């Protein structure tokens, strides 16, 4: 799908939305995507979409979170923001933990017997004087 977008950069005239942003300047933002026709007039045959935006702080800095909010109106989206954000944060935390597990499992383990690191022919870790 990404390849299709790169090869054909034409906008989809049947999938246009007008975007409005709302924020409380504390917790996050809500984007309202209202469907429009190519001439800019409203398209009532398609639903209005609400997308929530928030950030979570990690030890590597802020991570942006975007999530869809099931709502018919902006007021419903405001009420639905917190539960949708919580679910998105939980999914993101699980994804981060899974990526960490995958990275940890990629440790390189030497094959075969360990080389003799004592220098004493296998006599242990004692210091040998000449």
DSSP character string of the chain: -HHHHHH-----TTS-EEEEEEE-SSS-EEEEEEEB-TTS-B-TTS--EEEEEEEEEETTEEEEEEEEE--SSHHHHHHHHHHHHHHHHHHHHHHHHHHHHHHHTT-----SSPP--SSSSSS-S-----
- In whole angstroms, what separates CA 99 from the centre of its chain? 12
Question: What pLDDT is stored for residue 6 in this prediction?
Answer: 64
Phi, psi of 7 (to 5 degrees): -85, -30
- pLDDT tens-place values along the chain, 130 residues long: 555 556 878 999 999 999 999 999 999 999 999 999 999 999 999 999 999 999 988 888 888 999 999 999 999 999 999 999 999 999 988 988 898 888 888 766 666 665 565 555 555 556 666 6
Give the integer Cα–Cα distance in Å for 68 and 31.
Answer: 9
- pLDDT at residue number 47: 97
What pLDDT was estimated at residue 19? 97
Q: What is the pLDDT of residue 100?
A: 85
Q: For residue 10, what are its two tokens?
A: 């034409």
Task: Report how far residue 22's alpha carbon sits from residue 31's, in angstroms, rounded to the nearest whole number.
Answer: 6
* Angle in degrees, CA 95, 98, 100, rounded to 5: 110
């Amino acid at each position: 799908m990404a390849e299709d977008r790169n090869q054909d950069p034409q906008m989809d005239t049947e999938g246009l939305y007008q975007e409005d942003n709302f924020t409380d300047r504390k917790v996050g933002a809500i984007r309202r995507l209202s469907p429009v026709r190519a001439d800019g007039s409203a398209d009532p045959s398609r639903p209005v979409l609400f997308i929530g935006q928030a950030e979570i702080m990690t030890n590597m800095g802020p991570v942006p979170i975007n999530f869809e909010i099931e709502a018919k109106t902006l007021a419903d989206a405001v009420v639905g923001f917190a539960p949708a954000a919580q679910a998105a944060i939980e999914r993101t935390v699980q994804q981060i933990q899974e990526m960490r597990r995958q990275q940890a499992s990629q440790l390189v383990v030497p094959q075969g017997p360990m080389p003799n690191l004592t220098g004493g022919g296998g006599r242990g870790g004692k210091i040998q004087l000449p």
